[in-house]
Structure 1
Amino acid sequence: MSELIYLDNAATTKVAPEVYEAMNPYFEEYYGNAASVYRFAGESKKAVEDARKEVADFLGAKPNEIYFTGGGSESDNWALKGIAFSQRKKGKHIITSAIEHHAILHTCEYLEKLGYEITYVGVDENGIIKLDELEKSIREDTILISVMFANNEIGSIQPIKEIGEIAKKHKVLFHTDAVQAYGHVPINVDECHIDMLSASGHKINGPKGIGIMYLRNGVQIESFVHGGAQERGKRAGTHNTPGIVGFGRATTLAKEKMEERTKKEVELRDYLIKRVLDEVPYTKLNGDKVKRLPNNVNFSFRFIEGESLLIMLDQKGICASSGSACTSGSLDPSHVLLAIGLPHEIAHGSLRLTLSDETTKEEIDYTVEAIKTVVERLRSMSPLYEDFVKKNKQ
């Protein structure tokens, strides 16, 4: 067994060898600017368009509906700001959920300062959006609904098709942040009535610094990055050709391996969940038991503090997290866990473990034993736990 057990694949993933190999020629051999007109740059331009088709094929989209960006956060910002600014004459009301990634939530906060009104729809105890509340929130001046495909912390998969049907019924544009879902579950933009979609390369064994925006033909949106005429004039900047090639190759690999990988990850995920819930008392699984990403597990342990848990697991060679990597270092409990109804003291004791297709049963067993040891150690130092045990013995 490796000295390092990496169980934080929701934060980032290792670049697959096939992806690295596909990218290499575009650093050294075919380094031309894809926007240039001479023949040498033609290899780069062809590579960009081939990758665009790979992404489009995975989403059931047209190649000219795929735009390359610098990552998921840029795509999220573009979707919200681009629609907010282009549709401001129609209205200034946007609907999202209470458990979105901060790339969405902080963008919404920015738009609120500019006079836009945001409705944050609640979720149930499993982190699934309340569809009735969503539909009731739609108004005459609603210009956009943005709900993530699957939550990055607790793994709950949203009823995206139903949300898309609601949006279409009321003639409201629908964007989904699919950064965690892309490449892990099947996605068809037409079947789900999705108008815009964000995804990121480094979540699917691709490179960092590359993302995509799916933008349905006919949707009017303002450009987010101004400058040159790249990406059909909608997103300026020299193409990151190696990154784009890597994204395309990673997408194809994810598509080819999805069925096999999902089967393995779900089996290990459910094994991990059962062992921890059976062997570590006063533990809660966060997120839907069935409607969740294949590789996601999120626990809350009563009477402990999550940061201490992570540090002690790290000392045992286990990489994990307490939630989104984008909020690492924050002393506040997860907004996602608070939204599903957990009290602050329990939300603070959370642990997210996200598997990959390389994760082994041996690693899971080692991790479970480490969790048992660390949780017992931390609880032994907790006066709250001591008082709880004494009270329950009486």
Structure 2
Amino acid sequence: WASMAEMPLIIVNVQRGGPSTGLPTNVEQSDLFQAIYGGHGDSPRVVLAASTVEDCFYIALEAATIARKYSTPVFILSDTSLATRIEAFDEPKLAELMQDPKLDLTPRAGALKPYDLERITQHVPPGARMLDGKYPLVTGLEHDEMGHPTGSPKLHMAMTAKRRTKLQKLAEELPVPEIYGDAEGDTLLVGWGSTYGPIHDAVKKGRQAGQKLAAIHLRHIHPLPNGLEKIFAKFKRVVVVEMNDQGIYGFGQLATILRARYCEPKIQSMTKTDGLTFRIKEILEGLGDRYASNGSSSGERTRPRVLSSAPSPKTSSDTATGTHRAEAQISARAERAGDVTPTKPGAEASKASSGKVEHSKHPPSERAEDAAVAISGSGEANQK
């Protein structure tokens, strides 16, 4: 309704492991598609993602500004890691930042068209008097420039384009994210949300070891800021690091969007869904052997790993063999797998962001292998 009526609206989504009740105290970034595309029909909206506790404060102010300026719904995506974390940051200058919207109830003269096709919709505050006696309507039905319901095919096409183009205008105003690390090189990490800390620490550690590594972090997810393709062109591969499933096509949710937007095959995906934040060594090991040796005492690659394409379908014989292996392995691993759910998600997530805490006595490679065996029935995940 808010998309059709073009009303300012802010929705905050603190993501957790899903679907349904899922992992109510664990972290995940699996609501991105829902935030961007969830809804009936073509219903454009803005999606922002906070990266730190401090950013949660400032992104709320930005969301309010965008919602009012463009008369559109704005989603703010946070997650359990941010919501349960405690961080200290400089006290904001509230006198400069806070807005006190005052209703302009000045009587309006002349015909007022809130849904004028030639400009971005700006509604008149309720209570303002129309001197000509013609008051605009606000409705969830398709409408003309005065807000009156209409079934005109031409008007529906024109209004659909109007609601779309205002987001394209917003994209022109959004800042291009800064590159952290090398301005060009081998690998560019792309993150969003609470992956900010471990990604930046992984870049720092990799560069200290002589790797040509960099990162950008996206706060504006939909629409994307213009100019990202120029950054991607400076690197041999682009790896999107996010906490959601690789999906049936082998890519995480943001990676799927970026590949669709830029048609760039070098955009790859690193995902995980264990309900825990990324650790530095997980990112470095996921990038490959030459990175793993910089962040871990072991040269073995552990999951999550970079996925450049969807996994190949298994044959019936592969599945049968894998199932036989799994039956023998699951019982042996069941006792030592244990419950790795953090008892204090806030403290655990905060420590995990620094890459200094083990969530289990077993390394992530073993935990990931257990999950792979249980889900796919294949023993291939246990091969080193």
Q: TM-score, normalised to structure 1's length?
A: 0.26
Q: Is the helix fraction higher in 1 or 2?
A: 1
Q: TM-score, normalised to structure 2's length?
A: 0.27
Larger radius of gyration between Structure 1 and Structure 2? 2
